[in-house]
Structure 1
Amino acid sequence: MRDAEILVGYDGSTDASVALNWAVEEARHSGQPVRLAYVFEWLTVAGWVGPGVAPGVWPDDTARQQVDDLVRKAAADAATANPGITITGEVYDGPPALVLQERSAEAGLLVLGSRGHGGFGGLLVGSTAVSVSAHAHCPVVVVRDGAAHGSADPVVVGVDGSEPALVALGFAAERAAQRQLPLRVLHAWTAGPGGAAGVPDERAAVEQALEPWRRTFPQLAVTVDLMPTSPAAMLIEASRAARLVVVGSRGRGGLAGMLLGSVSQQLIQHADCPVAVVRER
Structure 2
Amino acid sequence: MELPVVVGVDGSEASLRAAEWAADEAVLHALPLRVVYASLWERYEGAGIADDVGKPPEEALAEDVVDAAARRARQRQPDLKVTTDVLPEEAEYALVREGRNAALVVVGARGRGGLTGFLLGSVSLSVAGHADCPVVVLRGSHDNQARTAVRGRVVVGVGEGREAVAVVRFAAEEARLRGVPLEAVRAWRCPAHETTDLPLPAGEPARMHEQRAVDVLEAALAAVPPEVRVHCRTAEGHARRVLEAASGNADLLVVGSRRRHGEGGLQLGRVAHAVLHQSACAVAVVRHA
Matches within 5 A, 1:183-198: 183-191=182-190, 193=194, 194-198=205-209
Residue equivalent to 1:200:
211
Report the residue type matching 1:79 in the other structure. R
Q: How does 1:90-129 map onto structure 2 within 5 Å?
A: 90-115=85-110, 119-123=112-116, 124-129=119-124
CA contact (8 A) 1:40 1:64 kept: no
Q: CA deviation at 1:114?
A: 0.8
CA distance in 2, matches of 1:68, 1:264: 33
Aligned pairs, how many?
254
Partners of 1:164 and 1:18 in 2: how far apart? Answer: 32
Match for residue 236 of structure 1? 244
Paired residues for 1:3-152 under 5 Å: 3-42=2-41, 66-115=61-110, 119-123=112-116, 124-146=119-141, 148=143, 151-152=150-151
Pairing partner for 1:212 from 197, 202, 223? 223
| Counterparts of 1:255 and 1:137, CA distance in 2 | 13
The Cα RMSD (Å) is: 2.5
TM-score normalized by the length of structure 1:
0.82
**Alpha-carbon offset, residue 240 of structure 1:** 0.7
1:162, CA displacement in angstroms?
Answer: 4.7
SS state at 1:24 partner = helix
- What's the offset of the Cα at 1:223? 0.8
Q: Which residue of 1 aligns with 2:267?
A: 259
Partner SS for 1:211: coil
Counterpart Cα distance in 2 of 1:180 and 1:125: 30
Give TM-score, length-normalised by structure 2.
0.80
Q: 1:225 to 1:14 in 2, by over 3 A?
A: same
Question: In structure 2, do the counterparts of structure 1 residues 197 and 70 end up closer, same or farther at CA, with 3 Å as the change threshold?
Answer: closer
Query: CA contact under 8 A between 1:159 and 1:206: conserved in structure 2?
Result: yes
Matches within 5 A, 1:140-179: 140-146=135-141, 148=143, 151-179=150-178
Letter in structure 1 aligned against 2:22: A
**Residue 73 to residue 148, structure 1, CA distance change in 2 (3 Å):** closer
Q: CA deviation at 1:205?
A: 2.5
Q: CA deviation at 1:196?
A: 1.6
Distance of 1:186 and 1:77 partners within structure 2? 35
What residue in structure 1 maps to residue 286 of structure 2?
A: 278
In structure 2, the gaps of 5 or more residues are 43-57, 195-204
Measured against aligned partners, the alpha-carbon deviations of 1:12-41 in whole angstroms (never above 9, x if no partner) come to: 101101211111111121011111110122
* Secondary structure of the structure 1 residue equivalent to 2:62: helix
SS where residue 34 of structure 2 aligns?
Answer: strand
Q: What is aligned with 1:53?
A: none
Task: Find the residue that maps to 2:223 and give its secondary structure.
Answer: helix
Give how far 1:77 is off. Answer: 4.4
Post-superposition Cα deviations, 1:139-170, rounded to whole Å, max 9, x if no partner, equal: 11000232546634310010120544331111
User: In 1, distance between residues paired with 2:129 and 2:59?
Assistant: 29
Percent identity among equivalent residues?
34
Instruction: Give the distance between the partners of 1:14 and 1:41, measured in 2 at CA.
Output: 20
Alpha carbons 1:152, 1:181 under 8 Å: kept: no
